[in-house]
Each structure stands twice: as C-alpha cells, then as structure tokens.
Structure 1
Amino acid sequence: MATTNIWQQFKSLIPEGGRTIVTITLNSGDGTSTATFRDGTVIRVQGESVPAGNNALIQDRVVKAELPALATYEAEV
C-alpha cells in the first residue's frame, strides 16, 4: 500500500547513505584503496576500480564510480 505521507514520499527519493567525492591515492591490491578528502582527511575504502590519482564517488566507504577531473571553485557568502 502506497503511503500518503508527503514526507515519507520525499525521503524515498533520496538515496540512503552519503555520497562524497574523493581522490584515490593508493590501490592496496587487497580490494581496498586509500582515499583523500578535499580537507586532507585520509580513509580506506572498498574497491580498486579507480586508478590512483583520479577522482572517485564513494558511498558508505565503497567506490561507486570514477569521476572526471573538473575545475573546482570556492565562493564565500
């Protein structure tokens, strides 16, 4: 039965877990990679499908896709 609660319908459109762009710094050879956030934080993620030095999309510490290297801009508001 479909819910009529608008908030629940909205929440169902948003995927579970956060998605983040990182730079892959090392493929470990054991199915994991080392990734670096823009602020310099380093984490280990599952997956080696993205070569070292390239950007990747991760979700729940799992590599989901390789991303192109695009220019980034910061603006203070």
Structure 2
Amino acid sequence: MSNLYRKFRELIPDAPLLVGTVVATTPVRVELPDGSQIAARGEAAVGQVVFVRDGVIEGAAPTLPVELIEV
C-alpha cells in the first residue's frame, strides 16, 4: 500500500523562492522587484537583499541586477 498523504503533497506545487530587499525590521517587510511588499519572519538588516519562501527569510541573496519580464 502506498502513502496517500505523500501522493497528495506531490499534487501541491512548492512555494516559489522570491528575492527582495528588506525595507523594515519591526516587523520585517520585504519589497519585491515589482514594488509590492510582503511580511516575513526572520532576521535581516534594512537594505539587505534576501531570499524569501512562504513568508520566511531563507538567507542572504546576491546583489544582482533584476530584469522583470511580463508574460
């Protein structure tokens, strides 16, 4: 017999990995390249570029130019 919960989880896509700049630290707010802001959990300094997934800061991101492409 197979694990039904595991099969169900495979149907749900993983949360995307986002990159943004920290604009506030209490509470933590991250500005995404499109200008929108999201709340995040974790620690980072204002102005730091970070990776965010599911509202959690996963770590520092490299400071690289960002190119937005509309689909």
TM, length-normalised to structure 1 = 0.64
Q: Share of identical aligned residues, percent? A: 22
Whether 1:40 and 2:38 are equivalent positions in the alignment is: no
CA separation in 2, counterparts of 1:70 and 1:18? 19
**Correspondence list, 1:8-47, <5 A:** 16-28=14-26, 32-47=27-42
RMSD: 2.6
Flag structure 1 segments of 5+ consecutive residues without an equivalent: 1-7
CA distance 1:73–1:17, change in 2 (3 Å): closer
1:51 maps to amino acid: A
**Alignment-derived partner of residue 65 in structure 1:** 59
Q: How many residues align?
A: 64
Per the alignment, in what secondary structure is the counterpart of residue 46 of structure 1?
coil
Residues 2-50 of structure 1 deviation map (CA, whole Å, 9 limit, x = unaligned): xxxxxx8xx6xxx83211001111111xxx41110111101111111x2
TM, length-normalised to structure 2 = 0.69
